[in-house]
Amino acid sequence: MEKKYVNKGFIQQLDGSYAVVIHPVNGYLEPEQLETIWRLAKQYGGAKLTVTQAVMIFGIKPEDFDKIAEELEKVRLPLADIGPVVRNVKVCSCEHCKRVIRDVTPLAAQINQCLAGLATPKKFKIAVNGCPNSCVEAQLNDLGIIAVKDGYWIYLGGKGGRQPQLGTRLDVVIKEEHLIDTVKRIVNGYIKVAQNERLAEVINRMGFLPFLRIALAWNSEGIKTCIGARYCKNGVGDVHAMAERIVSSGNLQGNITISGCGNACAMDKEADYNVVVLKDRVWVYNKNGEMVVIDGDQLPEYLRKNGILK
């Protein structure tokens, strides 16, 4: 198979021929796209709808790959991402459903554009639902998203197959403005720690919270955080926003930790400074155990005055 079609669209069948898998964006088909599918199915030997909102056309030979890909491209029908990659996002028909809480088709399209086709240790499936009825079975995908009144529930580690497993839901509702970043962090965290295994198997091996710490905590550029209020029901401070503010204010010359509540989950005695974020103030501990109380907005300037941020 040509390199450009590896993990893209064409799957060998029992009789040695191939099927092309087409995944329309958000599962919607326009009349001219249906006409093209009908014509190709009639020419090559039949078509089938899949459970992943894709269409398969059977009876194809390798020498026809380019011709078929060109025909599909003319009517904006993308080849499905297959193999060990982030698969095309499944989404419900929430634009038309009377039970919908929120139209999530733009969100699904955005996630698809950002991540579909990204190489992963094993296949990685994402499903997005516009209400808790979960028509596309968000709980049975590696990452499931369900719209609720104040934001989104996120389920992690679901899968079907011979050993099915329901995903585990984060304890907090994720706000709209953090959702895409959250999805990216989870996928990248999975890529970082997976050992030729699905996300469900990673979570079974590591534990749910340890995986969240890998995926959702900030741990770069000299800053280590807990998972923070965006993802933890105990959190009161947005440690991610604070880390971003420090990074944008200069170059850190040492190491600091930031904990999003009084539990101080990220505290490390080897760090130059340990920061604990509370509702209306920040506690800052130095290596000697001395503590000062400041406003959170003052933290970059405090670190600059003490020579750790330049």
Maximum Cα–Cα distance across the chain = 78
When the pLDDT of each residue in the chain is averaged and rounded to a whole number, the result is 94
- Asked if 21 and 81 touch (Cβ cutoff 8 Å), the reply is no
CA nearest neighbour of 111 among 135, 138, 147, 87: 87
CA nearest neighbour of 90 among 123, 120, 59: 123
Position 1 scores a pLDDT of 63
pLDDT category of residue 299 using cuts at 50, 70 and 90 = very high
d(CA 113, CA 224): 30
Is the Cα torsion angle 154, 127, 162, 5 positive or negative in sign? Answer: negative
Domain layout of the chain by residue ranges:
3-74, 90-206, 217-305
Position 62 scores a pLDDT of 93
C-alpha distance from residue 120 to each of 52, 117, 272 (Å): 19, 9, 36
- Fold classification of 217-305 is Sulfite Reductase Hemoprotein; domain 1 (3.30.413)
Choices 3.40.228.10, 3.60.110.10, 3.90.480.10, 3.20.20.150: CATH for 3-74: 3.90.480.10
Whether the pLDDT of residue 2 is over 80: the answer is no
The alpha carbon of residue 103 and the mean position of all alpha carbons in its chain are separated, in whole angstroms, by: 19
- Asked if 228 and 243 touch (Cβ cutoff 8 Å), the reply is no
Mean pLDDT on 274-283: 90
Identical fold for domains 3-74 and 90-206, yes or no, is: no
d(CA 139, CA 197): 18
Mean pLDDT on 253-280: 92
Per-residue pLDDT of 116-141, as tens digits, reads 999 999 999 999 999 999 999 999 99
Higher pLDDT, 235 or 201: 201
pLDDT category of residue 273 using cuts at 50, 70 and 90 = very high
pLDDT category of residue 279 using cuts at 50, 70 and 90 = confident
Whether the pLDDT of residue 5 is over 90: the answer is no
Mean pLDDT on 247-251: 93
C-alpha distance from residue 42 to each of 20, 61, 98 (Å): 14, 15, 36
Share of residues in the chain with pLDDT > 90 (%): 86
Whether the pLDDT of residue 195 is over 80: the answer is yes
pLDDT category of residue 51 using cuts at 50, 70 and 90 = confident
C-alpha distance from residue 169 to each of 108, 148, 193 (Å): 19, 13, 20
Choices 3.40.50.2000, 3.40.50.300, 3.40.605.10, 3.30.413.10: CATH for 90-206: 3.30.413.10
Q: Return all residues near 9 (Cβ < 8 A) that are at least 6 apart.
A: 20, 21, 22, 69, 79, 80, 82
d(CA 297, CA 259): 15
- Asked if 243 and 181 touch (Cβ cutoff 8 Å), the reply is no
d(CA 224, CA 208): 19
- Asked if 260 and 226 touch (Cβ cutoff 8 Å), the reply is yes
d(CA 119, CA 121): 7
d(CA 35, CA 29): 10
Whether the pLDDT of residue 100 is over 70: the answer is yes
